[in-house]
Structure 1
Amino acid sequence: MIHTTILSGVTFLYFAAFVFYLFRMMLGREFWGKAATWAALIGLVAQSVALVLRWKASYDLGFGHAPLSNFYESLIFFAWTIVLLYLLMERRLKNRSIGVFVLPVAFLIMAYASIAPGMNQRIEPLIPALQSNWLTSHVLTCFMGYAAFTVAFALGIMYFVKKTAGERPGLFIRLLPSEFQIDELMYSCAALGFIFLTLGIVTGSVWAHYAWGSYWSWDPKETWSLITWLIYAVMLHARLARGWRGRRMAVMTIVGFGCVLFTYLGVNLLPSLHSYMT
């Protein structure tokens, strides 16, 4: 289908954006930064069109649901939220150096969705438990939270790259924001992700009660979502109450992102009501 072809092209656009961001950091020429931004923006628009076309195709097939119902569609949407959030941040901060750390994640997610063996790319009807408007609100808020945590993770990696630079840093390091700015951005992204994840857990609980008659059942996905929520709650509390900054915050963004990945991917290996995602 045409939407699958478009999404394949988007994968290469995100890779091109990463390479252009890297060229900017290595060569110091803003031309490459503008090219990277345009590549990422065109990729995001094309991906949005592909998602709409896939949504329309589901209606043409008689199913009629948002493209958020299986593992393939969730990967595509995850990459979309990451690039959307990053481009909004770039526009607000007027700083393109973060892109070299964020775009590789979006590219790898898209590449995995395209080439992973056994990946089901077909549009299929929803199982009865998923036939609810709560599906869209739950998935949207969760993945916006995941996207914010992904950007926070990228900033954590950036912080350590900046921190380990020698006394005479090269052009790449000099183009990065200051350690103070990176720290503030890590906190802001983690706080934003925490808000969205909280909304995701709440909407998921309401949906669970609607679908299965219980707000909480200690399903592996629910349990690890709670663990992830607690990790970021501790991080934000320590920031406000104990004054955690810098290295500690960077470590927590990496640990938290590890929990996000396990919540999203790892629990699919366990018996779960969310096993449809596999």
Structure 2
Amino acid sequence: MIFTISEQVLAHASFFSLFFATFIYWGRFIHINNKTLNISGKIGMIIAYFCITGFLLTRWISSKHFPLSNLYESSMFLSWSLTLIHLILENRSRNNWLGIITAPSAMFAHGFATLGIPKEMQESLYLVPALQSHWLMMHVTTMILSYATLLCGSLSAIALLIITATKRENFPTMNYINLLFGLWIFKDYFELLKSNVHESRKVSSFTNFRKWQLIQELDNWSYRIISFGFPLLTIGILSGAVWANESWGSYWNWDPKETWALITWLIFAIYLHTRMIRGWHSKESAIIASLGFFIIWICYLGVNLLARGLHSYGWIFLK
């Protein structure tokens, strides 16, 4: 009973911390130079990280196995991984835009776990014989960490494509994005636009330069993050193959989960190949990374919820 209450308190506290951090980071679009907002957003992510860590530890103690045995626990671990990646990258890069990507990602993963999954699937159950293995922690942990890392890199690539698209004048709807970007760059953007033509041109030139600078930053960090996540994905697939051989007598069974994991690996292998061998940068490589974003969600959720297989634990086919 105590463990159950503790889990609920920690889960709710971490979700509201992530919601608060997301609100703060997106609020910095307007007040980018506000130091109070910068500190508040970071504190919100730190609180969320420790609350989710406490939740996972409590779950581990109460269930007596590592909390990665079902979709609920893996989604919470995905949210924890995203907050961890955020704290590491924010400390290393000290940039102002990272939380715009990582905070809502962690919040949505957490929200799906707590609000989207039926209550009966959130309960901790005894492990089936196939999961009673030391490979559970090795394989699933590595896979979820690779998903979180690759998602951050892919979202950076998507942001790059959005900013690049704002330069194209044949998209009138992009004016709203340009306005938001202008607000992000200048706190007094409206006042500068009301000034003379010369000042307006200076604003436009600086905005274009800042866009180019941000595109370079996003491209660089997307590549670096994906370069870190790809080896994790490789290790996760190889450890899963060894575990499958122990449990089912075969390294590879062409299970839907395995097939889509291979597709995910191939997509990001192509991304890295085109970057390192072909010399692709910015928009060209970002398109491949953006495709990887959707492939990851198919591999992580779509297969589990819709397909029948050795890895399926969704509720759609159970009804």
- TM-score for both structures, normalised by structure 2: 0.82
Matches within 5 A, 1:47-58: 47-58=52-63
- Contact between 1:134 and 1:207, CA under 8 Å: does it hold in 2? yes
| Structure-2 residue corresponding to 1:128 | 129
Q: Which amino acid aligns with 1:13?
A: S
| Structure-1 residue corresponding to 2:103 | 103
Indicate which of 282, 286, 295 corresponds to 1:246. 282
- Contact between 1:24 and 1:30, CA under 8 Å: does it hold in 2? no
Matches within 5 A, 1:147-158: 147-158=148-159
- Contact between 1:186 and 1:249, CA under 8 Å: does it hold in 2? no
Question: Are positions 1:181 and 2:217 aligned together?
Answer: yes
| Structure-2 residue corresponding to 1:68 | 68
The 1-side partners of 2:16 and 2:290 are apart by 27
Q: Report the CA distance between 1:117 and its aligned residue.
A: 5.1
Which structure has the greater CA radius of gyration? 2
Q: Report the CA distance between 1:160 and its aligned residue.
A: 2.5
- Consecutive unaligned residues of structure 2, counting only runs of 5 or more, are 168-177, 186-206
Q: Report the CA distance between 1:165 and its aligned residue.
A: 4.0
> Structure 1 pair 30/252, CA: closer, same or farther in 2 (3 Å)?
farther
| Structure-1 residue corresponding to 2:161 | 160
- TM-score for both structures, normalised by structure 1: 0.93
| Structure-2 residue corresponding to 1:61 | none
Give CA-to-partner distance per residue, 1:170-197, whole Å, 9 cap, x none.
1325687621121111111111111100
The 2-side partners of 1:164 and 1:232 are apart by 23
| Structure-1 residue corresponding to 2:253 | 217
SS at match of 2:239: helix
Q: Report the CA distance between 1:115 and its aligned residue.
A: 1.3
Q: Report the CA distance between 1:4 and its aligned residue.
A: 2.4
Indicate which of 9, 21, 31 corresponds to 1:5. 9
| Structure-2 residue corresponding to 1:265 | 301
Give CA-to-partner distance per residue, 1:187-246, whole Å, 9 cap, x none.
111111111000000100010011111111100000000000000001100111111111
The 2-side partners of 1:7 and 1:253 are apart by 31
- Contact between 1:70 and 1:277, CA under 8 Å: does it hold in 2? no
- Contact between 1:69 and 1:277, CA under 8 Å: does it hold in 2? no
> Structure 1 pair 117/231, CA: closer, same or farther in 2 (3 Å)?
closer
- Contact between 1:221 and 1:274, CA under 8 Å: does it hold in 2? yes
The 1-side partners of 2:8 and 2:138 are apart by 24
Give CA-to-partner distance per residue, 1:79-127, whole Å, 9 cap, x none.
1101101110000001131111221111111111111252411110000
Q: Report the CA distance between 1:25 and its aligned residue.
A: 2.4
- Cα root mean square deviation, aligned: 1.7
The 2-side partners of 1:205 and 1:276 are apart by 19
The 1-side partners of 2:239 and 2:117 are apart by 32
- Contact between 1:78 and 1:147, CA under 8 Å: does it hold in 2? yes
Q: How many residues align?
A: 273
SS at match of 1:74: helix
| Structure-2 residue corresponding to 1:94 | 94
Question: Are positions 1:30 and 2:46 aligned together?
Answer: no
The 1-side partners of 2:51 and 2:11 are apart by 8
Question: Are positions 1:43 and 2:48 aligned together?
Answer: yes
SS at match of 2:29: helix
- Contact between 2:274 and 2:285, CA under 8 Å: does it hold in 1? no
| Structure-1 residue corresponding to 2:139 | 138
SS at match of 1:67: coil
The 2-side partners of 1:253 and 1:71 are apart by 25
> Structure 1 pair 179/117, CA: closer, same or farther in 2 (3 Å)?
closer
SS at match of 2:122: coil
Amino-acid identity (%):
36
The 2-side partners of 1:172 and 1:160 are apart by 17
